[in-house]
């Protein structure tokens, strides 16, 4: 590249419309989830599951992102979005696109998924399609399991409009008193502790089975709830509330008590979306709009059934031929015992080499979980330090920490009680850990602790040795089966010293400014990434090999994006693999011609974060917990660790090669800002999925090592 071209690259201003709107980009991500539900090549029960995932995702989007936009507009604190638009304009676009997607979602269920479920012998039926014998079975079930817990609530001058909890299904009921000929209104909440889909057939076989939605069963028994009254009609509705928790932290206030008060307030957050069945009459709708104090723009009229999260209830059916082929994670080759009857010594294995584990292709139970359990039981282990952001309700990780503390070890657990929607569970675990003698800390004021760290100190021949795990995912055995993540095990003293410093910052009053193998947010991570991007830019300008590869859940940070645009203008090849929000543009002449963006969705949720830089030979590769979002780089404690082993560097580069292989099925971000997915080859054959190939590779790698 010539000197004049270099100067032009540096001085030419970046266009003002260089970002994709983050909220609309998120909706584009959820559209990709919906496209999986519409994909006829995917097993039908998995497609039903993707419909449920789409619904669950959209609920959270409204509870957090839409609620936040609306709150800022109402309070007068609204600032332009990342693309410079007024939040009120973005909110209007969100409503239009979300409504379009919800209608498409309902259509996918009615026209695509439901018919194929029926062909497979799985029927979601209504009351009118059942015969008298079926009605008798269901009435018996209703009387024994449902009727005693129903609570119809009248609405009249003596009974004000009741509180409607967020995401609950409700029946609005109009009744008439025959004596006075007066019409009344009542509300009935559909119980959330009862399965949403009630099985009509009591036989054990899953080969042909019928389900009736719970609200449909209840709606056809209303005469029993209002004896002596005439039930005129009923309709289903559902409200979404602002359920984001905002803690105004004060160093003198008890964080747990403040959070508990805020969680109580969450239940009464203002309504932000009202979903109604398309048969609802105008009088009932006007009543709901008035009582919820919302506008007609916040009403979403949809075909029944509402809330397709209920389709999660089909995943338990014993129909393996209608699901993805079962995959059993393999034990990482370096963590396997010498013979099947013995137990692997993980400390010995990690002391020999650094080990990179890739979940769920490789087992969490025989790696991370086994590491902590061995550390808890090992008399030579003196201390265990761990961060906990999200974990499962019956967590063996927490059990191991408790066992370690009870055996006299020094145990520190950094429990992030502000992990969104897991706050109550984390408070419960924090108190249980404290009772066992674990030193529990809750992080730093104003910051969430999102990093995934375990640091074990073990005495060996009179010397203290460090054993560490740094991961991209939560210490959660359940999600480890469906979330794709990496984790590095190392006995490196350098990493051990770095983690000692990190935990001292988290638990004490230390202010650390230097780490050797880590990039740590909020003080160093963005600057470290920008420094690497600048090196690649300089290499390209000097005519030397260069390249950047990034894998993240979300990419929003404008400072990093602008640095990538400048690198692209200098000629740096840039590959970005993103699952969700993506504000960077790809392949735009004069801006991002060398930037390629791909998205992979499938049976596993792509969750790992990787930052790779050519540096003369693709040897600067980091994994860790941080996405490229403001919150991750500025308001969270995040940690990336640099990989050292040639085998690990090669593994990461091979993974990126797969993600950008035109012969695989992925989504591609186009220069016109749309996402395109190719699932059929030029020869008319289904294109292979990246996750299937990685699964096969891990299985074959194990087989080769067995030989």
326: left (phi over 0), alpha (psi -120 to 50) or beta: beta
Question: What pLDDT score was predicted for residue 426?
Answer: 62
238's enclosing H/E stretch is strand 230-241
Residue 265 pLDDT grade (very low, low, confident, very high; cuts 50, 70, 90): low
Do 470 and 394 sit in the same domain of this protein? yes
Do 512 and 524 sit in the same domain of this protein? no
Do 317 and 400 sit in the same domain of this protein? no
Q: Quote the tokens at residue 37.
A: 């539900």
Where is average pLDDT lowest: 93-102, 305-314, 410-419?
410-419
Q: Does residue 31 fall inside a structural domain?
A: no
**Average pLDDT, integer, range 104-128:** 96
Q: Does residue 35 fall inside a structural domain?
A: no
Q: Are 312 and 48 in contact (CB under 8 A)?
A: no
Residue 321 has pLDDT above 70, yes or no: yes
582 pairs with which residues across the strands?
555
The domain in which residue 458 lies consists of 333-516
Q: Does residue 27 fall inside a structural domain?
A: no
- DSSP state, residue 585: -
CATH number at residue 622: 3.30.870.10
Question: What pLDDT score was predicted for residue 434?
Answer: 81
User: What are the percentages of helix, strand and coil residues in the chain, rounded to 5?
Assistant: 40, 20, 35
Do 405 and 482 sit in the same domain of this protein? yes
Q: Does residue 668 fall inside a structural domain?
A: yes
Do 210 and 338 sit in the same domain of this protein? no
Do 163 and 127 sit in the same domain of this protein? yes
Cβ-based neighbours of 669, under 8 Å, separated by 6 or more = 582, 585, 586, 587, 597, 598, 599, 675
Question: What pLDDT score was predicted for residue 627?
Answer: 94
**Cis? peptide before 360, omega within 30° of 0:** yes
Question: What pLDDT score was predicted for residue 261?
Answer: 54
Task: From 322, 351, 370, give the residue that closes a domain.
Answer: 322
H helices present in 508-581, as ranges? 525-541, 558-569
**Segment of 69-78, 118-127, 154-163 carrying the highest mean pLDDT:** 118-127
Q: Are 435 and 421 in contact (CB under 8 A)?
A: no
- The mean of the pLDDT values for the chain is 88
Where is average pLDDT lowest: 114-128, 418-432, 492-506?
418-432
Q: State the pTM of this model.
A: 0.91
**Average pLDDT, integer, range 160-169:** 86
Task: From 516, 539, 570, give the residue that closes a domain.
Answer: 516
Do 472 and 510 sit in the same domain of this protein? yes
- DSSP state, residue 156: B
Question: What pLDDT score was predicted for residue 249?
Answer: 41
Do 408 and 464 sit in the same domain of this protein? yes
Question: What pLDDT score was predicted for residue 7?
Answer: 46
Task: From 516, 549, 574, give the residue that closes a domain.
Answer: 516
Return the active site residues.
450
Residue 581 has pLDDT above 50, yes or no: yes
Q: Does residue 24 fall inside a structural domain?
A: no
Residue 694 has pLDDT above 50, yes or no: yes
Question: What pLDDT score was predicted for residue 253?
Answer: 43
Gap between the Cα atoms of 280 and 300, Å rounded: 11
Do 129 and 97 sit in the same domain of this protein? yes
**Average pLDDT, integer, range 475-484:** 92
Q: Does residue 160 fall inside a structural domain?
A: yes
């Amino acid at each position: 590249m010539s000197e004049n071209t270099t100067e032009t690259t540096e001085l030419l201003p970046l266009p003002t419309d260089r970002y994709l709107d983050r909220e609309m980009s998120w909706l584009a991500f959820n559209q990709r989830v919906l496209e999986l539900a519409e994909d006829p090549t995917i097993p039908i029960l998995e497609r039903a599951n993707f419909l449920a995932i789409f619904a669950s995702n959209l609920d959270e989007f409204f509870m957090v992102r839409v609620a936040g936009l609306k709150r800022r507009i109402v309070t007068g604190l609204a600032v332009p979005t990342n693309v410079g638009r007024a939040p009120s304009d973005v909110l209007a676009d969100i409503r239009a696109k979300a409504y379009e997607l919800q209608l498409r979602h309902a259509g996918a269920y009615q026209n695509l998924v439901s018919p194929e479920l029926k062909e497979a012998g799985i029927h979601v039926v209504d009351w009118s399609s059942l015969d008298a014998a079926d009605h008798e079975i269901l009435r018996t079930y209703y009387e024994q399991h449902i009727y005693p817990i129903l609570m119809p609530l009248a609405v009249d001058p003596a009974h004000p409009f009741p509180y409607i909890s967020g995401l609950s299904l409700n029946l609005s009921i109009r009744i008439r008193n025959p004596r006075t000929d007066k019409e009344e209104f009542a509300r009935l909440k559909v119980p959330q502790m009862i399965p949403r889909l009630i099985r009509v057939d009591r036989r054990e076989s899953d080969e042909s089975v019928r389900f009736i939605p719970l609200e449909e069963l209840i709606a056809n028994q209303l005469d029993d709830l209002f004896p002596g009254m005439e039930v005129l009609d009923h309709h289903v509705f559902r409200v979404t509330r602002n359920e984001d928790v905002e803690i105004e932290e004060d160093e003198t206030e008890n964080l747990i008590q403040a959070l508990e008060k805020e969680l109580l307030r969450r239940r009464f957050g203002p309504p932000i979306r009202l979903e109604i069945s398309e048969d609802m009459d105008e009088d009932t709708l006007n009543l709901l709009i008035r009582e919820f104090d919302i506008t007609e723009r916040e009403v979403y009229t949809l075909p029944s059934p509402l809330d397709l999260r209920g389709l999660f209830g089909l995943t338990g059916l014993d129909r393996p031929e209608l699901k993805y082929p079962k995959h059993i994670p393999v034990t990482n080759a370096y963590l396997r015992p010498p013979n099947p009857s013995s137990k692997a010594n993980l400390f010995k294995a990690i002391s020999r080499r650094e080990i990179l584990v890739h979940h769920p292709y490789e087992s969490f139970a025989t790696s991370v979980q086994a590491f902590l359990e061995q550390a808890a039981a090992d008399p030579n282990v003196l201390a265990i330090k761990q961060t906990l952001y999200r974990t499962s309700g019956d967590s063996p990780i927490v059990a191991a920490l408790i066992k370690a503390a009870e055996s006299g070890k020094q145990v520190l657990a950094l429990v992030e009680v502000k992990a969104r929607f897991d706050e109550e569970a984390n408070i419960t675990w924090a108190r249980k850990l404290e009772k066992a003698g674990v030193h529990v800390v809750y992080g730093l004021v104003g910051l969430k602790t999102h990093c995934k760290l375990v640091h074990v100190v073990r005495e060996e021949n009179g010397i203290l040795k460090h054993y560490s795990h740094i991961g991209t995912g939560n210490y959660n055995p359940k999600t480890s089966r469906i979330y794709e993540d990496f984790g590095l095990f190392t006995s490196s003293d350098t990493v051990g010293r770095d983690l000692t410093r990190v935990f001292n910052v988290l638990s004490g009053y230390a202010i650390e400014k230097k780490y050797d193998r880590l990039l740590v947010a909020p003080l160093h991570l963005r600057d470290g990434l920008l420094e690497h991007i600048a090196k690649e830019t300089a290499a390209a300008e000097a005519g030397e090999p260069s390249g950047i590869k990034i894998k993240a859940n979300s990419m929003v940070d404008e400072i990093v994006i602008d640095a990538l645009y400048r690198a692209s203008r200098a000629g740096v090849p840039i590959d970005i693999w993103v699952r969700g929000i993506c504000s960077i543009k790809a392949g735009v002449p004069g801006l991002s011609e060398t930037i390629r963006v791909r998205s992979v969705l499938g049976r596993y949720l792509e969750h790992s974060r990787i930052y790779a830089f050519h540096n003369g030979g693709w040897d600067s590769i980091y994994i860790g917990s941080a996405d490229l979002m403001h919150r991750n780089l500025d308001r969270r404690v995040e940690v990336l660790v640099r990989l050292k082993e040639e085998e690990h560097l090669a593994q990461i580069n091979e993974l990126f090669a797969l993600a950008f292989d035109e012969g695989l099925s992925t989504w591609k971000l186009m220069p016109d800002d749309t996402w395109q997915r190719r699932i059929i080859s030029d020869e008319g054959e289904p294109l292979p999925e990246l996750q299937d190939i990685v699964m096969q590779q891990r299985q074959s790698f194990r087989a080769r090592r067995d030989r």
